[in-house]
A and B are shown apart, each in its own frame.
Chain A
């Protein structure tokens, strides 16, 4: 079974050791974080998580992060490539304040248990408390001790687990024993296509520096009523100057070499493919493309690349994962 198939139909455990993790604590941690991220951190209660971004000075995206509210501060989690951007923004905001920033990547582990059967595996390993963790909620679990967060990227049940580095192997062993043995472990190779299928963008892969928050379709991550919203003036201007839109596409043929290829309707060049992957579920390429603002929408037939391969724009997500459809009844 491929890692992709395991994650979409069963359960897989991924080691996210390299992923970004910072803890921000102290009396002014909330102020320091709220000045940096788009969401309203003051509305985030202990035990809750929010998906948000750090706006760039140009109205683009410096980083996409999950913010987790803890008893004594906040944990900021993101993809590996966003680590330095997160560190820079938080260090700058915390300096001169009574707030302490710690890069906890090397002293902690990060694991993600993913897939429609993942909750069952977690329940066998950690007990009934697992069932009480709703999406966007966070709960400490005991023996082996972890902080469990229901956050996600792939449209499946995902339980992200954090704990002391010294306890990592014990947690992995407990989860392997609970389900699948060594076969439970998966790599990250399937992540890009699974993200693309859900229309989930990666800052590094999918958002060029010139693209605005609005063009990337991420403005839902921002509370525009915040008085301290970072880059507020630029964001307001770029809200009314949208040149392109990020759109999900399904394309015939092979995904190789599609990145950067033009998208046409008849002979009119309407945009470019940003990233493309082969989807086992769809048996087609799934791609994220930036198309002209007036045509950046689902329901269009297009031709892609010099060989004019057939493609169409679709609504995201491209399908619902089994974790969701199984619960729809």
Chain B
């Protein structure tokens, strides 16, 4: 967890970059009819929100694994619900790998 303002700003910079990359990946891979800045970070991906479906979910997994070099396991599927929740997943995996 981030506790100091300096840590917070460093984290925010890293997170923003990741979020932008993820949105760009989603727009390109899913051929979304939206610009990156038209997708809120907390916007739900399925049903209401971006209105994606289960086929898109599989494409998202492939895209995230390819773009961010992480492995998305079956148990992670609950985290594929918004841009922010996917970024949480990517960050936690990257942190875990850094610690290893």
Contacts and interface: CB of A to CB of B under 8 A. Distances in A.
A298 B87 CA distance: 9
B84 A297 contact: yes
Interface in A42-69: 51
Contact of B40 (A136, A219, A268, A300): A219
Given A135-B47, A315-B84, A328-B78, A265 B12 contact: no
B2 A301 contact: yes
A301 B1 contact: yes
Interface string B69-99: 0000000011001101101100100000000
A239 to B, nearest CB: 6
A266 B3 CA distance: 8
A265 B38 contact: no
Interface string B1-29: 11111001101100110010000000000
Interface string B23-67: 000000000011101111111100111110000000000000000
Contacts of A152: 48
Interface residues of B toward A: which range?
35 or more
B52 to A, nearest CB: 12
A294 B82 contact: no
Contacts, number: 86
B38 A224 contact: yes
Contact of B5 (A248, A266, A315, A317): A266
Contact of A301 (B3, B44, B47, B88): B3
A315 B82 contact: yes
A314 B35 CA distance: 24
A224 B40 contact: no
A20 B74 CA distance: 41
A165 B43 CA distance: 36
Contacts of B84: 297-298, 315-316
Interface of B: 1-5, 8-9, 11-12, 15-16, 19, 33-35, 37-44, 47-51, 77-78, 81-82, 84-85, 87-88, 91
14 contacts: A135-B48, A136-B51, A217-B41, A220-B49, A224-B34, A225-B33, A248-B42, A266-B4, A298-B87, A299-B91, A300-B12, A301-B2, A328-B77, A328-B78
Interface of A: 51, 135-136, 152, 199, 214, 217-220, 222, 224-225, 239, 245, 247-248, 265-266, 268, 294-295, 297-301, 312, 315-317, 320, 325, 328
Given A220-B43, A297-B41, A316-B42, 15 more contacts: A217-B41, A218-B40, A219-B39, A220-B39, A220-B49, A225-B33, A297-B16, A299-B11, A299-B91, A315-B42, A315-B88, A317-B82, A320-B81, A328-B77, A328-B78
